[in-house]
Amino acid sequence: MNLRKLSLGNWILISMFLGILTGLFLNVYVNDPFIKDFILMDNLFYLGGDIFIRLMKMLVVPLVFCSIIMSLASISDIRKLATVGARSILFFMFTTIISIVFSLIMAAIIRPGAGLNIPASDSVSSSVSMTLSDLILNIFPENPLNALTNGEMLPIILFGVIIGFILIKLKDETPTVYKVFDELNSLMMKLIGIIMKIAPIGIFCMMARTFGSLGFESILPLAVFIGCIILVTLIQIFVIYPIIFVIFTRANPFKFYRKFLPAMFFAFSSASSSAPIPLSIEKLEQMGVSHNISLFTIPLGSSLNKSGSAVFFSVGFLFTAQAYGIDFGATALLTAIIIILMATISSPSVPMASVFTLSMILSLVGLPLAVIDLVTGIYSIIGMFNALSNLTCNGVCTSAVAYQYNSFDMDKFNEK
């Protein structure tokens, strides 16, 4: 085999499995803390993975900002753009509701919390109190520069949309501004290509560190809980999303997955649905999705479309209820669905935010929070599947929206 002919997606897949095997080997056979923890986990693997993630995140804000401005400034049909945004949000809400209902049904059948003894201690308190009103208010930045600096995606999108709309009307009067954003956008795309060449190294380090530092004894008591989330996520990705893709695009879902795999591998290995934004846009464009559509919906979806996180919240809710032997009636379940939907949409995009959001959900429905202590230790595994589902759903919804507006090149999609 000629290694130089392997595609980036194949290299990412190889590095991911090598990282898993390396981590498991270190976990089982290497007991020297100096070699395992100090040299490898806390330095070599930590730096290798974190540097790559930081390089990708470094490009997310300028890429999204410049791309949204250029995608808007290059069109003339403003009404079409407004309907694209509205339809994208409807798709995101639709897939999230499906995820919540399906997850609750599967958790009710599997009963991951049955027979688990958890001490009824509410020592963990929620640190997330964001409501739907807070989410709407946070879309409008008090200081756009702060939003750009802090990487707050929704305010960045709104700020870019405003500037893009203005440039549509002032394009002839401000050609220099238009050219600056156009050239910055081209520069960001070139940088992505350069950084992605080191993706296999970064992904190897992240996977090796995750599986090398996670003790087996912390997984066994929650194996059924983890297995339930993984099962639901896999059914989402390989059954529900393909059905949605076929219904709304009339295209072959296997071709979509084959071309979108590099972005999916990146999301899984990094446990992030925002870091792979540049790669997602690139892969969707390669398969025929309009650049203008993906540049708008992918960043929007990274903030609003959290179907994978909805699985964690729904299974975690029933897992806790089953552990304490609490049965919810139809009305209480409907209320829980609404709470989970609002919490999913308003969940902040920061590390471990889903754990704190779950504690908020449990508090609102009157369940003890002791389960949070258990979930926190194994969230590194769950987070990878959450990110994988979030990103895949985002790609499917973007393709569906593009097809609705005749912005999906089927000839290009069907190319080998």
CATH code of 236's domain: 1.10.3860.10
The tens digit of pLDDT for each residue in 283-338 reads 999 999 988 788 888 887 877 788 988 999 999 999 888 888 887 777 778 888 88
Higher pLDDT, 71 or 385: 385
What residues make up the domain containing 107?
A: 13-413
pLDDT of 348 reads 57
* Residue 303 lies inside a defined structural domain of this protein: yes
Number of domains comprising the chain = 1
Please report where in the chains the tokens 């779950």 appear, as a residue.
358
Mean pLDDT computed over 380-400: 90
**pLDDT tops 50 at residue 129:** no
Mean pLDDT computed over 138-153: 78
pLDDT of 116 reads 66
pLDDT of 10 reads 72
Q: HSE (CB half, 13 Å, CA atoms) of 44? A: 13
| Least confident window among 269-278, 303-312, 369-378 | 369-378
Confidence of residue 11 (pLDDT cuts 50, 70, 90): confident
* Residue 6 lies inside a defined structural domain of this protein: no
| Least confident window among 38-47, 243-252, 287-296 | 287-296
CA angle 312, 102, 392 (to 5 degrees): 65
The whole model's pTM is what?
0.70
pLDDT of 304 reads 76
* Residue 1 lies inside a defined structural domain of this protein: no
* Residue 5 lies inside a defined structural domain of this protein: no
**CB neighbours (10 Å) of residue 21?**
13
Using a pLDDT cut of 90, give the percent of the chain over it: 21
Averaged confidence pLDDT in the chain: 81
Q: What is the largest CA-CA distance in the chain?
A: 70
* Residue 7 lies inside a defined structural domain of this protein: no
**pLDDT tops 90 at residue 157:** no
Mean pLDDT computed over 135-160: 77
Phi, psi of 142 (to 5 degrees): -70, -35
* Residue 86 lies inside a defined structural domain of this protein: yes
The tens digit of pLDDT for each residue in 353-371 reads 677 778 878 877 778 877 7
pLDDT of 124 reads 36
pLDDT of 97 reads 93
* Residue 3 lies inside a defined structural domain of this protein: no
Which candidate, 294, 275, 292, 276, places its Cα nearest to that of 284?
Answer: 294
Confidence of residue 254 (pLDDT cuts 50, 70, 90): very high
pLDDT of 133 reads 63
d(CA 76, CA 168): 7
* Residue 214 lies inside a defined structural domain of this protein: yes
The tens digit of pLDDT for each residue in 193-235 reads 788 788 888 888 887 887 787 656 555 556 888 899 999 999 9
Which candidate, 216, 214, 241, places its Cα nearest to that of 388?
Answer: 241
Long-range CB contacts for residues 189-198, cutoff 8 Å, separation at least 24: 189/63, 189/278, 189/282, 191/59, 192/59, 192/63, 192/278, 192/279, 192/282, 195/52, 195/55, 195/56, 195/59, 196/8, 196/279, 197/8, 198/52, 198/55
